[in-house]
Chains A and B, each alone.
Chain A
Amino acid sequence: MQVATGREVHVPIGADVTLRLASRTYIADFALPQLGLRDFAAPDLPSELHFRADREGRYDVRGDELCGRPHTDKTRGWLVVEDAAAYRVWMHERARETNQ
C-alpha cells in the first residue's frame, strides 16, 4: 500500500524499516537524532537508512539543507513508532486521504 503523508509518518514497532531519501534540488540533510540516524540526499544521490524501532514513541525528524544555514529548532517532522493495530489504523486513514 502506498500513501502520502505530511510531516508525520508512522511505523510499527519491531518492524524492519527502510527510509529512502531523495532530493530534487539541494543537498538535504535528514536526521532522526534519538535513533542515531543521519544521512543526506542530493539530486541523483538518493540514500537509504535501515533501522528497527524497538520502543514506542514520537521521534523528532530534522531536515534541512546541508550547508549550516541558520534555522529554528522547531521540529520539522515526526516519526511515530506504535503498535501494529494503531499503525494499521493510521495507514488506512492516510490511504483514504490519499485517494480522495
Chain B
Amino acid sequence: MSRSARPYKVTGLIAVAVVVGLASVAVFRRQPLASAPVAVPSSTNVYVPADVARPDWVAGRRSAQLASATSISAPHNFQFADGVDASGITTRLVNSMDLGKYYKATHYDHGTAVAVADVDGDGALDLFFVNQAAPNALYRNLGGGRFEDITARAGVAVGDRACVGASFADIDNDGDADLFVTAVREGNLLFLNDGHGTFTNVTANAGVGGTGGHSSGSVFFDYDGDGLLDLFVTNVGKYTQEERYPDGLWRSFGDAFAGHLHAERSEVSILYHNVGGARFATVTTPSGLVHSAWSGDATAFDYDADGRPDLYVPSMQGHDELWQNRGAGRFEKIGRKIFPATPWGAMGVKVLDWNGDGRLDLFVTDMHTDMATNLLPEEEKKKHDPATMFPPRFLATDGNHVLGNALFTNRGGGKFEELSDAANVETGWPWGPSAGDLNADGWPDLVIGAGMNYPFRYAGNNVLLNDGGKRFADAEFILGVEPRRDVTQPWFELDCDGSDVMQDICQGEIRPHMTNDLRSPSERGQVAARHGHVTVWAARASRSAVIADFDNDGDLDVVTNNYGGVPQVLMSDLASRGPVHFLTVQLVGQRSNRDAIGAVVTVQAGGRAQVQVNDGKSGYLAQSVMPLYFGLGSATQADSIKVTWPTGREQVVRESLQSGNRVVIRE
C-alpha cells in the first residue's frame, strides 16, 4: 500500500429537502473535498482523543467534593482501593465490534452483568462476570481478596454467543445457587449447580431457552407463592441485523435506537412459571404480563405491600411499567396510574428504604435521557433541560417524564413522591444502581456503575452516601473510588495501510463522526491521513457493580464489570480503621422458596428500624444470592430481627444478635 493521500469516503448522509410554495426543492449534500488529506510520515501510531486523555474537569470536581466533605454527617473517613491486581481476577470484558472499529450507537453498549453467589458452599461469595464477545468467567473466592478462576471446571464459560445478564437463584430448592444467563439471539441458558460449583446446562429440559430475542436482565421471583422461583426475562427489542461480524456477533442496525418506533422490531419479554423438577412453563400470554416495551432489566417490587410481588420494568425508550400481581397468576398493567411520570431512558432499578420510614422506595437510573444532547461534566447533576430533550415524535409517549434518575419515595397507600433532586441522586450516564451500607451507619448508600466508552469523554462511577435518610452526598472522590487508576485504555487496533485504510481514523478524523455530518473535513478537525498500526484509545467506564463483603472483614466492598478491560475490585478499609458494627442475615425458606426471595427483613437496632427486601438485586442485569448486610451504627447489637416471609408469615428473632454475627434464620 502506498502512502499517498486518500479521498474521503461517503457512506451515508442526511438529506434535507426544502419545499417552498410547492415549486422549488433544494437538497443538502456533502461538499466535495477541496483537497484530499495530506499524507505524513508514520508518526501517528497511537490515537488518544484529547478530551478522553485529559478530562480537565476531574481535578476540579475532586477538589470540590473533598471540600464538601465537612458538610456530610454520614461517616466518610474510609477509603476504597482497587485490588484487582492482587485479586487473581484477570477476565477482560470484550465488546462487540459495533462499539469500536465499526462504531454505531447500539444496545450492545448497555453492558453485561456481574453476579454473586457462594457457588461451592464454602461460605465465601464468588463472582461471575458476564462477557459479550468472549467467554464468561467464574471466580471462586479464596478469602483475603483473592480469587481463582474456576470457569472451565464449573462449565459456565459459554463463549459462543453474546451474553448479557446473569441471575443466581436456587430454582430447585436443593440448597445451592443455580445460574441463568441471558444472551443476544442465540438463546438463554440455565445451569444447575451440583452444590460444589459445577454446573450442568439444563436449558432444553427446563424450557427457558427463550425465543431468540435480544435478552437482557432476568429476575427470579415467586409470583404465585408456591415456594418455587418463577422467572421473568426481559427482551429488549431487535437491534441487530441479519449479518454477523468476524467475531460471530450480530451487526447492529445503524438506527438501533429508533427501534421503539418500528413495531416489527419489538420483542415480548417472557414470564416463566416454575412447575418443579427444574422445569418451567411459559405463561406470558395467560398471565397477562405481555411486556413489549424496550426494557433491559426489571425488579420484583411489592409496591402496595399486599404480599404479592409486583414487577417494575424500566423502559430504556419509553415509559417504565408497573405490573400489578392480581393473584391467581394474573398481572395487570398499572404503570401510568401509579407512576404517571417516569424516566424515558431507564436502565437500572433498585428497591430500598432510603429514608428509613419502613416503606420500600424505588431508585431508577435514566441513561438514555442523558443522550439527548452532548452531556457536559457540569450538567451531570442536573435534570435534562426540557427544551433540548428528544423531539416528541422520537419519545413516542405522552411526554410526561422525569428527565433523569427517579427516586420514587413510598408515601404509603400506593402513592409515591419523586424526590431525586431533593435527595441529590441525579447523576450522569448512569447504568446499574446498587444499594448497600458502605459505612455501616444503618443507612443504605448507593453505587452506580456509570460512564461511556468510545468515543465519549471520561465520566466516573458514582457513590452516594446516605446522610441520615435526608439526602445523599456525592462521595466517589472522597472515598477513593474516583478517579480510577487510569481513565483511558486501548480500545481497538487499526491497520491503516491495509484492511482498515478507509476507516475514518485512518482517514485522519480527529474524532469519530457520523456519515451525515455535513461539515467539511477542516471544520471537523480532520488531520492528515494516518499510516501504519494505529491503536485507538477510549475512556474507561463501568456498567454494572455489585456490593458485598468479599474479604469477610465486616465491611462492604464493590466490584464492577467494565467494557474493554478488567473489573475493579474496590476493597474497603472501613474495618481496618476501627470497629464496624453490623449483622448479616441469611434466610432459609421452607414453605417459601429456599432463597427466601421476596422476604422483607426488619432489623431493630439503636432505636430505629431498618428494612430491606431480600430480592438479590445488586447492580444491573444481575441477581445474586447473598446474605443481607445491616450496618448498626454505634449499636453493638440488634434488638430484634423480624422476617416477613414470602408466605406472609412473620418470624421474630431476639437472640444472638451481637455485632459481627451471621444470623441464619430458617422459616
Residues of A within 8 A of B (CB): 1-7, 9-12, 15-28, 30, 38-45, 47, 61, 63-72, 74, 76-77, 87, 91, 94
Contacts and interface: CB of A to CB of B under 8 A. Distances in A.
Given A19-B16, A22-B15, A39-B391, A72 B524 contact: yes
Contacts of B9: none
B373 A68 contact: yes
B112 to A, nearest CB: 20
Interface of B: 11-21, 23-29, 31, 51, 104-105, 254-255, 257-258, 261-262, 370-375, 390-391, 393-394, 455-457, 511-519, 523-525
B456 A23 contact: no
23 contacts: A1-B25, A3-B27, A5-B26, A5-B27, A7-B31, A12-B20, A15-B21, A19-B17, A21-B16, A23-B13, A23-B14, A24-B13, A24-B15, A25-B515, A26-B105, A43-B255, A63-B16, A64-B514, A66-B371, A68-B370, A69-B374, A70-B374, A94-B26
Contacts of B25: 1-3
B394 A66 contact: yes
B375 A68 contact: yes
Q: Which among B28, B31, B254 has the highest number of chain A CB atoms within 10 Å?
A: B28
A18 to B, nearest CB: 4
A64 to B, nearest CB: 7
B499 to A, nearest CB: 21
Contact of B26 (A4, A15, A24, A30): A4
Contacts of A9: 16, 18, 26, 28
Given A41-B14, A68-B372, A26 B518 contact: no
Given A26-B104, A30-B16, A91-B24, A66 B257 contact: yes
Given A22-B17, A47-B393, A77-B28, 13 more contacts: A1-B24, A2-B24, A11-B18, A24-B13, A26-B12, A26-B254, A26-B514, A26-B516, A42-B255, A67-B257, A67-B371, A68-B371, A70-B51
B28 A5 contact: yes
Contacts of B254: 25-26, 43
Contacts of A27: 105, 255, 257-258, 394
Q: For the complex, would chain A's binding face be called helix, strand, loop or mixed by DSSP majority?
A: strand
B524 A3 contact: no
A45 B455 contact: no
Contacts of A20: 16-19
Given A43-B254, A68-B371, A72-B525, A23 B15 contact: yes
Contacts of B455: 69-70
Contact of A28 (B19, B31, B511, B516): B516
A100 B262 CA distance: 40
Contacts of A67: 105, 257, 371
A54 to B, nearest CB: 14
A26 to B, nearest CB: 5
Contacts of B524: 72
A6 B29 contact: yes
A-B complex: 9 closest residue pairs judged by Cβ atoms:
A68-B371, A25-B12, A67-B105, A28-B14, A20-B17, A18-B19, A65-B514, A42-B258, A25-B254
Nearest to B52: A70
B19 A17 contact: yes
Contacts of B512: 69
Given A30-B16, A68-B371, A69-B456, A25 B11 contact: yes
A37 to B, nearest CB: 10
A69 B539 CA distance: 13
